[in-house]
């Protein structure tokens, strides 16, 4: 195997096979834990073009990345985004890529679910933190609940497997987690709960933080949860709810970090590669892209970046203070 085609292995012997790609920092919602209400968005010249995104993602696929998750902002508000999905679909056809998927707020799925399925997308994650229409409006600020519900229906109609991602928010959705499990499982959808992360500059996350250990204990008051080895390539640990037959996942960056098995890196819409969501070190791949048409140079820059991937993040809410807090918004890095 030549150096050009050798897989990406980080300094801790972890194979990097999963790339999360933000294709835009823009969104049609303003979720309180993700961005401020009055965001200043990036000028177009700073964003990677769709052609640059294709070239960069293809370079990662050439280097052994098997799963691409497209994020934002809201990826489906990026103009012309289906061109990119259709382009990436060629790697599914050749077998170079195992999975092309996206995380969305669901608002645009009525329009895009069928074209996404036609491009080779098989699963989508929909971010939905509450089933209460008023709370939904409060959390998303700009979101339209009925539109999201319709989008989820459209995804199911198109044959897409839907997973719901819910951020566990104390004082917001802690009174409806049982209802969310029942609602998802009645529709054959997995549900994953995520601990709120200390990111962004406009809110103190400590008041909202709800350990998923406590959330799980709460679910166990109503149901029997059985740990299962199910994996989707990401950091979630899954259980099966015996009474419903459905799956619930837990993503716990704070109460139990999962860094030892991290196979992921994140690419922002401006071409910055973050080797860890919870560290500020990044590599400027946009500069490399725009300086040279030689993919060997790009491959080399990617390898050098992976060589700097840290062992783990420093997020910690213990001792009633936030350690490892990040100033950038989740919408910038792409979830």
Q: Supply the pLDDT for residue 136.
A: 92
| DSSP-derived 3-state class of residue 133 | helix
Q: Does the annotation flag 72 for ligand binding?
A: no
Q: And the tokens for 226?
A: 């059985």
Q: Does the annotation flag 184 for ligand binding?
A: no
Q: Supply the pLDDT for residue 254.
A: 63
d(CA 324, CA 199): 9
Q: Does the annotation flag 71 for ligand binding?
A: no
Q: What is the largest CA-CA distance in the chain?
A: 58
Q: Tell me, yes or no, whether 47 lies in a domain.
A: yes
Assign residue 222 the CATH number of its domain. Answer: 3.20.20.70
Give buried/exposed letters for 111-136 (b at 16+ CB in 10 A, else e).
Answer: ebbbebbebbbebbbbbbbbbbeebb
Q: Tell me, yes or no, whether 8 lies in a domain.
A: no
Q: Does the annotation flag 88 for ligand binding?
A: no
Q: Tell me, yes or no, whether 35 lies in a domain.
A: yes
Q: Tell me, yes or no, whether 6 lies in a domain.
A: no
Q: Supply the pLDDT for residue 318.
A: 45
Q: Tell me, yes or no, whether 303 lies in a domain.
A: yes
Listed residue (251, 260, 245, 176) closest to 213, CA to CA: 251
d(CA 40, CA 188): 38
Looking at residue 177, the DSSP 8-state letter turns out to be H
Q: Does the annotation flag 22 for ligand binding?
A: no
Q: Tell me, yes or no, whether 298 lies in a domain.
A: yes
Q: Tell me, yes or no, whether 219 lies in a domain.
A: yes
Spell out the residues 6+ positions from residue 38 whose beta carbon is closer than 8 angstroms to its own: none
Q: And the tokens for 101?
A: 């998927």
Q: Does the annotation flag 304 for ligand binding?
A: no
Q: Does the annotation flag 264 for ligand binding?
A: yes
Q: Supply the pLDDT for residue 3.
A: 62
Q: Does the annotation flag 127 for ligand binding?
A: yes
Q: Does the annotation flag 312 for ligand binding?
A: no
Q: Supply the pLDDT for residue 82.
A: 98
Q: Supply the pLDDT for residue 310.
A: 84
* pTM, rounded to two decimals: 0.87
Q: Does the annotation flag 36 for ligand binding?
A: no
d(CA 180, CA 206): 23
Range of the domain at 312: 18-333
Q: Does the annotation flag 259 for ligand binding?
A: yes
Number of domains in the chain: 1
Asked whether 184 and 165 are in contact (CB, 8 A), the reply is no
d(CA 91, CA 94): 5
Q: Does the annotation flag 266 for ligand binding?
A: yes
Q: Does the annotation flag 57 for ligand binding?
A: no
How confident is the chain (335 residues) per 10-residue block, as mean pLDDT?
74 94 88 73 92 98 97 94 98 98 97 98 96 91 90 98 95 94 98 76 62 94 96 88 97 68 92 86 95 97 94 54 48 56
Q: Tell me, yes or no, whether 166 lies in a domain.
A: yes
Please report the sign of the dihedral spanned by the C-alpha atoms of residue 142, residue 273, residue 269, residue 66.
negative
Q: What share of the chain is helix, strand, coil (3-state, %, to 5)?
A: 35, 20, 45
């Amino acid at each position: 195997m030549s150096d050009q085609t050798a897989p990406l292995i980080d300094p801790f012997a972890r194979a990097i096979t999963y790339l999360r790609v933000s294709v835009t920092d823009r969104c049609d919602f303003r979720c309180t834990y993700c961005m401020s209400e009055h965001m200043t968005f990036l000028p177009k010249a700073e964003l990677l073009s769709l052609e640059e995104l294709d070239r960069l993602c293809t370079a990662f696929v050439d280097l052994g990345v098997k799963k691409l998750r497209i994020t934002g902002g809201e990826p489906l508000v990026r103009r012309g985004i289906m061109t990119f999905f259709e382009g990436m679909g060629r790697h599914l056809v050749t077998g170079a890529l195992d999975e092309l998927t996206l995380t969305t707020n669901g608002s645009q799925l009525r329009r895009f679910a069928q074209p996404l399925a036609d491009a080779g997308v098989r699963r989508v994650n929909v971010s939905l933190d509450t089933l209460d229409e008023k709370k939904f409006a409060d959390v998303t600020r700009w979101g339209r609940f009925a539109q999201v519900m319709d989008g989820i229906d459209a995804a199911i109609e198109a044959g897409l497997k839907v997973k719901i991602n819910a951020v566990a928010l104390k004082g917001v959705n802690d009174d409806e987690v049982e209802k969310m499990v029942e609602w998802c499982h009645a529709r054959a959808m997995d549900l994953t709960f995520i601990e709120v992360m200390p990111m962004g500059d406009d809110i103190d996350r400590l008041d909202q933080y709800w350990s998923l250990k406590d959330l799980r204990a709460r679910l166990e008051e109503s149901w029997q949860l059985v740990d299962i080895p199910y994996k989707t390539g990401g950091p979630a640990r899954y259980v099966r709810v015996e009474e419903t037959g459905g799956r619930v996942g837990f993503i716990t960056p704070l109460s139990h970090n999962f860094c030892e098995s991290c196979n992921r890196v994140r690419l922002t819409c401006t071409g910055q590669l973050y080797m860890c969501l919870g560290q500020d070190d990044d590599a400027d791949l946009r500069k490399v892209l725009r300086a040279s048409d030689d993919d060997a140079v790009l491959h080399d820059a990617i390898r050098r970046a992976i060589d700097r991937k840290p062992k783990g993040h420093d997020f910690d809410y213990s001792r009633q203070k936030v350690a490892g807090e990040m100033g950038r918004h989740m919408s910038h890095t792409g979830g």
